[in-house]
């Protein structure tokens, strides 16, 4: 799983740099030509990164004869535009059914998210608002656990979940996901809780709040964005997972969406690439949307000025 990737993302986020160009100073033609050159490079880089995504969308809206034609269709013009690929991906009788896969994915990710947030949240309070022996050890342990590759754990996890008769169950898969995502959740939430200065709570206590009340009324609302961001990252991790689902969900009716997508490219018959791309889009949409929401949110600093005021 890619928890750590996200941790670092949170840390690296706020690179806002005011433009280097000073207003009012007229730039030389050489300088302007240079800027234009770099602008061109930027456009090429942009195109390189966007191209595969664009190509996926393009193919998903093209009819089969265009996809397989020797003529390359770079845009689904209105005369050829079709939603058939989506229809085929979602409703075709020959394919693994879409609706159960969505339900399985949604229920496992939701269960994972809720358990991780609740358990991780209380843990992060313990780690930030209390000093006690063993605190440091626990945090370091969390950090080390994050480094254990889930790919290596599949064999013993499979044997254990099988032993509990939880193979092919939402609970079994969610349990495995929780174990994978929780260390990251604790780690990130710990950062967010630590970011809310204790002084705010103390001020509320001076004004007559109980310690718990101060936490609940002052700190918790400030943590809401952090909880949302962390929850979304937990969601993305579980949603995108393939390896653990492959091991735990072995029956066709218990497939998650990533396993469902995989059935499209198995080399049993000629691949219908239009349907594959439509399926890839369907799997990607929630992940992309949520990712775009949190990538800015993770920048923190939301409460940086709260004490100064």
Q: Which of residues 36-55 bind other proteins (CB under 8 A)?
A: 38-39, 41-43, 45-50, 52-53, 55
Q: Judged by CB under 8 A, does residue 178 bind other proteins?
A: yes
Closest by CA position to 175, among listed 230, 249, 101: 249
Q: Judged by CB under 8 A, does residue 4 bind other proteins?
A: yes
Q: Judged by CB under 8 A, does residue 122 bind other proteins?
A: yes
Measured distance CA(117)–CA(185) in Å, rounded: 7
Q: Judged by CB under 8 A, does residue 133 bind other proteins?
A: yes
Stretch that binds other proteins, among 85-93, 106-114, 148-156, 199-207 (CB under 8 A): 148-156
Q: Judged by CB under 8 A, does residue 67 bind other proteins?
A: yes
Measured distance CA(23)–CA(204) in Å, rounded: 46
Q: Judged by CB under 8 A, does residue 145 bind other proteins?
A: yes
Tokens encoding 188: 């990130």
Stretch that binds other proteins, among 76-84, 144-152, 197-205, 218-226 (CB under 8 A): 144-152
What is the footprint of other proteins within residues 196-235 (CB under 8 A)? Answer: none
Task: Choose which of 170, 176, 193, 234 interacts with other proteins (CB under 8 A).
Answer: 176
Taking the complex as a whole, how short is the minimal distance between the CB of residue 28 and other proteins, in angstroms?
A: 16
Stretch that binds other proteins, among 82-90, 103-111, 125-133, 200-208 (CB under 8 A): 125-133
Stretch that binds other proteins, among 86-94, 141-149, 197-205, 300-308 (CB under 8 A): 141-149
Q: Judged by CB under 8 A, does residue 153 bind other proteins?
A: yes
Task: Choose which of 27, 87, 135, 217 interacts with other proteins (CB under 8 A).
Answer: 135
Measured distance CA(297)–CA(10) in Å, rounded: 8
Measured distance CA(169)–CA(107) in Å, rounded: 11
Task: Choose which of 96, 102, 114, 139 interacts with other proteins (CB under 8 A).
Answer: 139
Stretch that binds other proteins, among 102-110, 195-203, 225-233, 240-248 (CB under 8 A): 240-248
Q: Judged by CB under 8 A, does residue 12 bind other proteins?
A: yes
Q: Judged by CB under 8 A, does residue 132 bind other proteins?
A: yes
What is the footprint of other proteins within residues 246-285 (CB under 8 A)? Answer: 246-247, 258, 261-262, 264-267, 270-271, 273, 276-277, 279-281, 283-284
Taking the complex as a whole, how short is the minimal distance between the CB of residue 278 and other proteins, in angstroms?
A: 11
Letters for 82-121 (x = contact with other proteins by CB under 8 A, - = none) are ---------------------------------x--xxx-
Distances (CA, A) of 37 to 32, 78, 198: 9, 35, 50
Taking the complex as a whole, how short is the minimal distance between the CB of residue 232 and other proteins, in angstroms?
A: 11
């Amino acid at each position: 799983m890619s928890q750590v990737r996200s941790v670092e993302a949170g840390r690296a986020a706020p690179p806002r740099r005011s433009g280097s160009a000073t207003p009012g100073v007229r730039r030389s033609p050489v300088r302007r030509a240079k800027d234009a050159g770099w602008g061109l490079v930027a456009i090429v880089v942009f195109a390189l990164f966007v191209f595969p995504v664009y190509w996926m969308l393009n193919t998903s809206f093209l009819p089969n004869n265009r996809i397989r034609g020797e003529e390359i269709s770079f845009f689904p013009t209105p005369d050829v535009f079709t939603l058939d690929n989506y229809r085929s991906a979602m409703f075709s009788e020959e394919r693994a059914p879409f609706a159960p896969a969505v339900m399985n994915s949604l229920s496992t990710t939701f269960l994972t998210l809720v358990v991780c947030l609740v358990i991780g949240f209380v843990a992060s309070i313990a780690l930030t608002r209390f000093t006690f022996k063993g605190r440091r050890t626990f945090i370091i342990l969390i950090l080390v656990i994050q480094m254990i590759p889930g790919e290596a754990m599949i064999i013993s996890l499979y044997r254990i979940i099988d032993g509990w008769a939880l193979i092919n169950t939402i609970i079994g898969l969610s349990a495995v996901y929780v174990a994978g995502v929780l260390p990251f959740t604790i780690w990130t939430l710990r950062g967010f809780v630590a970011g809310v200065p204790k002084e705010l709570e103390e001020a509320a206590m001076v004004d007559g709040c109980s310690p718990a009340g101060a936490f609940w009324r002052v700190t918790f609302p400030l943590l809401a964005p952090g909880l949302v961001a962390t929850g979304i990252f937990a969601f993305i991790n579980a949603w995108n997972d393939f390896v653990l689902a492959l091991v735990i969900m072995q029956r066709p009716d218990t497939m998650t969406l990533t396993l469902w997508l995989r059935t499209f490219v198995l080399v049993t018959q000629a691949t219908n690439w239009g349907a594959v791309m439509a399926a890839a889009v369907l799997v990607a949409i929630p992940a992309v949307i949520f990712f775009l929401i949190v990538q800015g949110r993770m920048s923190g600093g939301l409460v940086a000025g709260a004490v100064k005021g």
